[in-house]
């Protein structure tokens, strides 16, 4: 049958119409837009551009490549956010999409595989454990219930310094502050054991210290680069050995709790976890490894960071005698010389609060906030795919000269009431210029406890002692991800109050 000319016209019309529709929809489907990235080397990626002080290295790169850039270390890739606006999008506007964390550090050496709480994906288990922490450990009423533990351990610290004063001996304040925070955490979580046995608390402290040392020695290249699965210097093996020691010790403590079941009226966190472990109808059936890793996370996160922050505060105060005198005058005026500063005094000590805030801004112990994208989204006009790892560089944000005048200087006055708005910034991370404990769902759950400890401990040390010699300490940063000091803080404490306040002769 012959084809009419009208059929040709109709077919041509269909072809042209289909082509037009194709191009319309194709133009709407934009190609993926990726953040800028420095030139990478084969295999190594951007390792050659990074120093041992990772937050500072990334801050320098961000000045050139922008507030959201892509960095690769071997086969591992990250997006790095370095300004307030980008952080706000990630931590507030897209909080649910970024509510998971990626494992950052020597996690492949962890013997408790899949039992982590801090690094657990955002989901039922993580929500349950966070709710437990907030209701049974770090909520206001629970914090008040543990005030006698904090007071007791602070008194022990001050008495130990008084003994050094009497003997004229140097004091390793770094170790003593770590002992303080370790004992507080142990007694709050496992009061029945750690308050009865100094040996167990000491062993826990020693194991955690070994783990932190091994983790710090595992270089960024070993952890995230092409050498990730090669234990080049044996630090991974030593870390696994420390973890096994912790496993044996915590198993012993758990068995002691099980043997003492029902003998004590006072319930602590270990009791609550074991109750959930035994309950067949519990919302979450905890495993033994999950209980063990919870305490591991609690001790690592709460001990090292709080201790490091207090060390930096003391160093800065000794480097700035005028600031030290101003703080001491405030404490002497508000508290006097006949009793120790306590938690109820803190609201009446605004300069002490400013010193703590400025310490956390200048020497933040968690300068890199880890997030993992759970679903596709858009940040700064760039397409972020699900599964992307994000680092929010809180160090860069809290050292931004556009926000902070003289950002590398220790100036507590910036947090006092005045002409600027800085003093309104709170510790909860609601102002994205100031992120000492992160923000959003994955913000630090122990922030309230940490700040209480910092205020009363720093206040007690400054009230009771002149600390001599510490200004000579080499204050370089330790290698790794945290903002800890590389060298111990050693000083000679000189008592300045009547020793009867500390109940010593």
In-domain check, residue 293: yes
In-domain check, residue 15: no
Q: Which residues line the annotated binding site for heme? A: 444
pLDDT reported for residue 76: 81
pLDDT reported for residue 3: 42
Q: Which residues line the annotated binding site? A: 444
The answer to whether the beta carbons of residues 129 and 119 sit under 8 Å apart is no
Whole-angstrom CA distances from 144 to 158, 305, 448, 449, 456 are 21, 22, 11, 10, 14
In-domain check, residue 173: yes
How high is the mean pLDDT of the chain? 85
For residue 434, is pLDDT > 90? yes
Residues 280-291 have pLDDT tens digits of: 888 888 999 999
DSSP character for 30?
Answer: P
For residue 21, is pLDDT > 70? no
In-domain check, residue 31: no
If pLDDT is split at 50, 70 and 90, which confidence band does 314 have?
very high
Q: Find the mean pLDDT for residues 405-431.
A: 80
Assign residue 102 the CATH number of its domain: 1.10.630.10
For residue 5, is pLDDT > 60? no
If pLDDT is split at 50, 70 and 90, which confidence band does 1 have?
very low
pLDDT reported for residue 262: 60
Q: What angle (nearest 5°) sits at the alpha carbon of residue 153, between those of residues 152 and 154?
A: 95
DSSP character for 485?
Answer: B
The answer to whether the beta carbons of residues 383 and 33 sit under 8 Å apart is yes
CA separation for the pair 352, 332 (Å, rounded): 12
Query: Which is more confidently placed, 348 or 197?
Result: 348
Q: Find the mean pLDDT for residues 329-348.
A: 96
CA separation for the pair 294, 395 (Å, rounded): 27
Rg (CA), the chain: 27
Which of the residue ranges 153-157, 174-178, 221-225, 448-452 would you say has the lowest mean pLDDT?
Answer: 221-225
Number of Cβ within 10 Å of residue 276's Cβ equals: 18
For residue 296, is pLDDT > 80? yes
Per-residue H/E/C for 71-136: EEECCEEEEEECCHHHHHHHHHHCCCCCCECCCCCCHHHCCCCCCCCCCCCCCHHHHHHHHHHHHH
Torsion of CA 486, 491, 496, 500, to 10 degrees: 90
DSSP character for 162?
Answer: H
For residue 483, is pLDDT > 70? no
pLDDT reported for residue 222: 55
Q: Are strands 389-393 and 76-81 parallel, antiparallel or unpaired?
A: parallel
Number of domains in the chain: 1
Query: Which is more confidently placed, 398 or 31?
Result: 398
If pLDDT is split at 50, 70 and 90, which confidence band does 470 have?
low
pLDDT reported for residue 471: 61
In-domain check, residue 494: yes
For residue 66, is pLDDT > 60? yes
Tokens for 47, please give them.
């390792």
pLDDT reported for residue 504: 75
For residue 209, is pLDDT > 60? yes
In-domain check, residue 21: no
CA separation for the pair 207, 352 (Å, rounded): 33
pLDDT reported for residue 13: 53
Where on the phi/psi map is residue 231: left (φ > 0), alpha (ψ -120 to 50), or beta?
beta
Q: Find the mean pLDDT for residues 53-69.
A: 94
pLDDT reported for residue 299: 85
pLDDT reported for residue 188: 84
Q: Find the mean pLDDT for residues 196-220.
A: 71
Tokens for 2, please give them.
């012959």
CA separation for the pair 306, 312 (Å, rounded): 10
Q: How far is CA 209 from the centre of its chain?
A: 16
Domain containing residue 165: 36-502
pLDDT reported for residue 191: 73
pLDDT reported for residue 166: 94
CA separation for the pair 399, 161 (Å, rounded): 34
Residues in the chain, overall count: 505
Q: Is the pTM of this model over 0.85?
A: yes
Tokens for 473, please give them.
């300490």
In-domain check, residue 481: yes
pLDDT reported for residue 239: 86
Phi then psi for residue 439, to 5 deg, are -160, 160
Which of the residue ranges 12-16, 233-237, 255-259, 338-342 would you say has the lowest mean pLDDT?
Answer: 12-16
For residue 424, is pLDDT > 90? no
In-domain check, residue 9: no
CA separation for the pair 456, 136 (Å, rounded): 22
């Amino acid at each position: 049958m012959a084809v009419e000319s009208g059929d040709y016209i109709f077919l041509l019309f269909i072809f042209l119409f289909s082509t037009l529709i194709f191009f319309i929809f194709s133009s709407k489907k934009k190609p993926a837009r990726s953040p800028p990235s420095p030139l990478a080397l084969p295999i190594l990626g951007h390792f050659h551009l990074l120093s041992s002080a990772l937050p500072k290295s990334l801050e320098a790169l961000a000045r050139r490549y922008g507030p959201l850039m892509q960095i690769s270390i071997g086969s591992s890739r990250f997006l790095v956010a370095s300004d307030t606006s980008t952080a706000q999008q990630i931590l507030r506007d897209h909080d649910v999409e970024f509510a998971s964390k990626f494992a950052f550090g020597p996690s492949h050496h962890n013997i408790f595989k899949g039992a982590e709480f801090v690094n657990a994906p955002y989901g039922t288990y993580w929500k349950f454990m966070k709710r437990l922490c907030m209701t049974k450990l770090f909520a206001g009423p629970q914090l008040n219930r543990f005030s006698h533990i904090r007071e007791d351990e602070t008194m022990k610290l001050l008495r130990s310094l008084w003994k050094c004063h009497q003997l004229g001996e140097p004091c390793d304040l770094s170790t003593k502050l770590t002992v303080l925070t370790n004992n507080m955490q142990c007694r709050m979580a496992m009061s029945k054991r750690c308050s009865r046995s100094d040996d167990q608390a000491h062993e826990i402290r020693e194991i955690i210290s070994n783990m932190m040392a091994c983790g710090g020695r595992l270089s960024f290249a070993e952890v995230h680069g092409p050498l990730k699965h090669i234990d080049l210097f044996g630090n991974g093996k030593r870390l696994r050995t420390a973890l096994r020691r912790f496993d044996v010790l915590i198993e012993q403590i758990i068995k002691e709790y099980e043997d003492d079941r029902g003998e004590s009226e006072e319930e602590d966190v270990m009791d609550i976890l074991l109750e959930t472990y035994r309950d067949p109808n519990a919302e979450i059936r905890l495993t033994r490894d999950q209980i063990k890793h919870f305490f591991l996370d609690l001790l690592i996160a709460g001990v090292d960071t709080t201790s490091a922050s207090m060390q930096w505060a003391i160093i800065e105060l000794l480097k700035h005698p005028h600031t030290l005198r101003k703080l001491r005058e405030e404490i002497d005026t508000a508290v006097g010389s006949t009793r120790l500063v306590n938690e109820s005094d803190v609201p009446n000590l605004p300069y002490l609060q400013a010193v703590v805030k400025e310490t956390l801004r200048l020497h933040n112990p968690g300068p890199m906030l880890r997030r993992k994208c759970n679903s596709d989204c858009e940040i700064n006009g760039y397409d972020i795919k699900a599964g992307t790892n994000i680092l929010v560089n809180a160090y860069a944000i809290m050292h931004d000269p556009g926000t902070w005048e003289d950002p590398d200087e220790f100036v507590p006055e910036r947090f006092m009431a005045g002409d600027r708005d800085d003093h309104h910034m709170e510790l909860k991370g609601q102002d994205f210029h100031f992120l000492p404990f992160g923000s959003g769902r994955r913000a630090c759950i122990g922030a309230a406890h940490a700040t209480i400890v910092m205020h009363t401990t720093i206040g007690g040390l400054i009230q009771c002692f002149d600390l001599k010699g510490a200004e000579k300490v080499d204050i370089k940063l330790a290698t790794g991800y945290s903002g800890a000091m590389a060298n111990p803080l050693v000083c000679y404490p000189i008592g300045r109050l009547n020793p009867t306040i500390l109940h010593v002769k």
